[in-house]
Structure formats: C-alpha cells, structure tokens
Structure 1
Amino acid sequence: MIPLRPDCYSFGRHETFPLRFGWLTKGYQAWLSTPGVFEDDDATVKLGVGKNMVSAIKYWLIATQMINCDRQSIMSSELGERIFSPNGWDPYLEDDATIWLLHWLISSNPAEATTPFWFFNRFHKPEFTMKELIDAQKYFVSEHLSAKVSEATLKHDLTLLVRMYQPTLNSKSVPSEEGLDSPVAMLGLMEMATGSKYHESKPEFRSVPVAIFAFSVAQVLVESGAPNLPIERLMRSDGVLAAPGSVFRLTEECLITKLEEMIAWYPGVFNLRESAGIHQLYLLKELEPISLLRRHYIGAH
C-alpha cells in the first residue's frame, strides 16, 4: 500500500486510454518472456497494439501495482507474479474478485494513479459535473502536491476516469462492447445522472468479495503500524492512505456488516470492539495481507 506524498504523483501517463480487458495479461506475459518488450522497436508487433497503447499497457501494469518500475528496470511485484503469470491465480480475469482487487490497487496508489486515488478517497460529492470535478481537483493539487498541473491535463485524467468507471449502458450486466473495454466499469461505482451530471453509485455491499475487502483492511492496518484502528479511519481516508469504505463506496452500516463478515470468514485474526462509544477494529496477530488473497484463490491459509 502506498501513502500520498506531496512530491510523488502521476498525471496523464495513460495516453488517454483506459484500462482494457486483456491488457494486463498480455502486457505482463509479454514482459515475462521479453523483459525489454516495452522499449523494443517492434513492441507494437509483439503486443498487437498501436505505439501509444504500448505505453498505456505499461502504465496500467504500474498503476495496478502488477509491476514496479524505476529508471533502470522493470520488476514484477508479488501480486503480479501471483495473479498474471501463466499459472497464476487469475491471469484472464475470470474471477470478479480480481476486478475488485484491481480497483483497490489503482485507488490506493496515489504515486502512480493520483486522480483515481483523489476521486475515490478525497472527493465525496455524490452528484457532480465535470467542471466541479476539475475545480475540486485543481484545489487538491494546489493544496497538497508540489506540482503544477495544467487544467487540460486534469481534464484529460478526469474524462478518462469517468469513461473507465461508467458503464456504457444502464444495465451493468450487459455492457456494450465499448463498456467491456474497461473491467472496472462492471463494478457499478459511477453512473450518468441527468444532463451533464454524473453520480457515484453504491453497489450492493455483498458484491464486494470478502477476501478483497479483508485484503484492503489488512493493508491499511499494516501500513498504519497500529494494532487497532477506529472504524472511521476505515470508512474515510485520512488523506494519506486509502480507505476501504471510500474506495468501495460503502455506507457505514455496510462497512460494519462487511467487517463482521470478514471476522467470521477469517477467525482469530481480527476483532471488532466498542470502547467509549467508538468502534475499533483490532489486529490480533501478525498478518501478511496477501495471505487473505491466497485463501480466496486457492483456499490456503
């Protein structure tokens, strides 16, 4: 999990292409076989996409935390290896839980996916126009980042965010071919309202897989370094770390229900207590968050 830092941010690196079905699998497995694929002159041939799409595939692998990239090299993350290697847990996104996981990994990555992190953790207006989005993000950038980002760049990022998360049709179960381009559009987290307005949509809380929810909670607990956290901290971001309640668009009642489900699903690890009228979640023993995903995908502790 990655905290927000004023000097670490990313805008506009997606080449205006939202994440598409098949890109992570194609990009990760091409990189496994040819580590320099994204810089190769024939990358467009190897990946079967245009030049700008090559850069976009690389960017989305970084934004979803499937690979880590510095100036010298690209390295696999443990999650990338576990999920997208040829014998991985779900290399072809056949499990809806993986799509929820990718949404969490994008929205908890302020260094590489600053706009999704901001929108899902720090923007809380249920109905909004594009202008309201741009104005709010301009304020966030000026107040919290050491960046000078043009309004045009912010508009490109926000337009792409809306395209990526809004189903093309009202029916989320039968999206159009264009809607299928982005797996996260199927999560039902954003809808078109009236006229030029959009609104956030709260999915049925049961649709958020317990393992993915538990993984997100465990990441917050581990990153915070505290043995317990108030429910409010899991409900709303502190501005530095992502919050499961915000990212999954849960009400407080649904969050508590989900926590109770998590405790029953993985007993002996978490406990929910109320002290002086404040609900707190306790971590009872050391835990590697990825073990929760392992339990989901292969049933191992």
Structure 2
Amino acid sequence: MATSKIKLRLQGHEKFALREGWLNKGLIIVNENSGVFQSEEAPDIFGIGNNMVKSVRYWLRAFGLISETPGKGASLTEIGRIIYDNDLYFEDVFTLWILHSNIAKNIEEATSWFMFFNRCQVDDLNRDQIQQILKREITKYAEGTTFSDNSVKSDVDVILNMYSNTKEITDPEDKNISPFSELKLLKKVDGRYSKVHADRRVVNEWVVLYELANKMLGLDSISIEELAINENGLQNIYQMNFVMINDYLDKLDALGYIHVDRTAGLDMIYREKEFSPVEVLEEYYRNSR
C-alpha cells in the first residue's frame, strides 16, 4: 500500500527575513501581473534582486495571500483580496494576527513556523537550544525525509528576527524591522528568548472569532478545550491563557455569534450565527471603517 510522502518546506525565504513593504508590494504587483514570477523581468518589476523576488513569492504563499496555478500564474486568494481592498499597507494589527495565524498553521509551506508555535516550548533559551528543539520536532514529523541542519538554523534565525522585540540581523541592507514584532509574542533578553502571553493591547475578540470560524467549518459546536489547547489552538498560535480566551468568548457570546455553555463542566461553544473565516474578515473591516 502506497503512503503519501511527508511534505515539509524549510528555508523557502532564501534566508531573507520578511521586510516591511514586501507584502503590499507583492499584492499590488500580482494583482496587476499574474505572470510576474515567471517573468525574467521580475527583479526589475519589484526593484530587488532575483533571490529577494523568490523570497517575496514565498512569503506571499506562506501567508496564504496568493495561490499559483500551473500555466495561469499567481492570483490573490480570498483573504489576499480582502486585505488588498481593506488594509493594503498592513496598518491594522488585526491583519498581522491573521497572517501570523495562517503561517503558523501552514505545515506544508512553513514547516518551521508550525513546529515553533505548536511543538516548541521556548522559555529563556538561546538560539542554539531553540534550533535543537526545532530540529527534534521536525525530525519526528519528517518520518525519514531528510533535511539539512543549516536550513533549520536559517529558519530559526528568521523566526526570531521576525517576532522578537529587538533586531539582530547584521545585513547592512536590512533596515526594516519586521511588522510582526508588533504582536509581542517573543521577547529577547541578553541573547535568550521566551514566548510571551498575548498582550490585550494588541489582540481582540475578532481573532478568536476567526479561529472559531476555521475550527467550526461544518460544525455547530466545539469544546473550549478543542479551541484552546489542541494543535493550532489559541494557546499555541496566539499564546493566550484561559482567562483571556474565556473573556473573549464571553464577548462573542454577548455579540450573538456564539453561546458558551459552562454548566455541569460542559465548556462547550455553540454557533448562533453562520460565519466563515472570509465573512469574519469582511465584517471586521466593515465595522472598522
């Protein structure tokens, strides 16, 4: 009986950390020119080197902003289109949370991101320690598929620079701090890193509704535990604690989207309205205007 080969992708970013301005430029160009990534003129169109173009392409795919079809080129996904229409310059931190959620759950295109947020406990660790933990988790997932230590090291470098509250990239051309540092998910003190609980000042109930929409596709109910603890749960992806999760669930209950039942230890969430991930995004931006 044939078994499907494990899909994993490391170092798709060509060792370039995400730079401010790359995503919106990518959305604009792909929207105007679906074949840009097959064009020899792509570096001139983007105004950057060829390897950087490959990196932009990777980031757009890993964040779920574009999809590519052989023979047809690239196009904006539904989420990419909504962001293009409503927050093209990524000024709303909610947009960054959605993109973070997408890449942290994208095990096939961004394997290291998935493992870092779902499988790695990071508390007062240095880069080498984080690399060893990540390598261990990827090895378990890969089931014999080979990969290089250098690719894991490269991903660790990019993840830490992308999310931490200070910047360590030594490339003199790297003048922009990653916008994802705004999420405050990772702190660095004296060369050691720790994951940090989500900050109420930069997160709200709409990201919880977005995650509910993803987890409740085709369902009318879900346990709070399934939403919070399991793989791709709020505790892993957003680093929320249970107090915060329950507070946001109560807000969504008051808004009429869900009903939360905590009687007799049930701890269940029941759908009161129809809402898909795309509909949540559309409604959020509509209400934010």
User: Normalised by the size of structure 2, how large is the TM-score?
Assistant: 0.88
Correspondence 1:210-229 to 2 at 5 A: 210-222=205-217, 225-229=218-222
- Find the counterpart in structure 1 of residue 98 from structure 2: 101
CA gap 1:109/1:192 in 2 versus in 1, 3 angstroms: same
- Find the counterpart in structure 1 of residue 170 from structure 2: none
Deviation at residue 131 of structure 1 after TM alignment: 2.4
- Find the counterpart in structure 2 of residue 36 from structure 1: 35
Give CA-to-partner distance per residue, 1:194-244, whole Å, 9 cap, x none: 3x321112232342132222112211222xx44322222222233xxx112
Distance 1:121 1:179 in 2: 30
Secondary structure of 1:181's aligned partner: coil
- Find the counterpart in structure 1 of residue 227 from structure 2: 234
Distance 2:5 2:161 in 1: 27
User: Normalised by the size of structure 1, how large is the TM-score?
Assistant: 0.85
* More displaced 10-residue stretch of structure 1: 9-18 or 63-72: 63-72
CA gap 1:89/1:251 in 2 versus in 1, 3 angstroms: same
Identity value in percent: 27
Report whether the alignment pairs 1:294 with 2:287.
no
Distance 1:111 1:179 in 2: 30
CA gap 1:127/1:227 in 2 versus in 1, 3 angstroms: farther
- Find the counterpart in structure 2 of residue 67 from structure 1: 66
Report whether the alignment pairs 1:11 with 2:10.
yes
* More displaced 10-residue stretch of structure 1: 255-264 or 122-131: 122-131
Secondary structure of 2:193's aligned partner: strand
Deviation at residue 189 of structure 1 after TM alignment: 0.7
Q: Please, what is the CA RMSD of the aligned residues? A: 2.2
Distance 1:245 1:261 in 2: 18
Which runs of 5 or more residues in structure 2 are unaligned?
A: 168-172
- Find the counterpart in structure 2 of residue 153 from structure 1: 151
- Find the counterpart in structure 2 of residue 172 from structure 1: none
Give CA-to-partner distance per residue, 1:239-272, whole Å, 9 cap, x none: xxx112321111111111111122223x1x3111
Distance 1:252 1:10 in 2: 32
CA gap 1:184/1:153 in 2 versus in 1, 3 angstroms: same
- Find the counterpart in structure 2 of residue 21 from structure 1: 20
- Find the counterpart in structure 2 of residue 183 from structure 1: 179
Deviation at residue 180 of structure 1 after TM alignment: 4.2
Deviation at residue 178 of structure 1 after TM alignment: 5.9
Deviation at residue 179 of structure 1 after TM alignment: 7.7
* More displaced 10-residue stretch of structure 1: 278-287 or 246-255: 278-287
The answer on whether the counterparts of 1:179 and 1:185 sit within 8 Å (CA) in structure 2 is no
Distance 1:289 1:235 in 2: 17
Deviation at residue 142 of structure 1 after TM alignment: 2.2
CA gap 1:207/1:264 in 2 versus in 1, 3 angstroms: farther
The answer on whether the counterparts of 1:168 and 1:178 sit within 8 Å (CA) in structure 2 is no
The answer on whether the counterparts of 2:186 and 2:193 sit within 8 Å (CA) in structure 1 is yes
* More displaced 10-residue stretch of structure 1: 116-125 or 148-157: 116-125
User: What letter corresponds to residue 298 of structure 1 in structure 2?
Assistant: R
Distance 2:221 2:5 in 1: 27
Give CA-to-partner distance per residue, 1:46-95, whole Å, 9 cap, x none: 111111110111111001101112544323210111112xxx01111122
Deviation at residue 11 of structure 1 after TM alignment: 0.8
CA gap 1:108/1:247 in 2 versus in 1, 3 angstroms: same
Q: How many residue pairs align between the two structures?
A: 278
Report whether the alignment pairs 1:77 with 2:77.
yes
User: What letter corresponds to residue 206 of structure 2 in structure 1?
Assistant: A
Secondary structure of 1:207's aligned partner: coil
User: Which residue of 199, 202, 215 corresponds with 1:204?
Assistant: 199
Distance 1:125 1:229 in 2: 28
The answer on whether the counterparts of 2:205 and 2:252 sit within 8 Å (CA) in structure 1 is yes
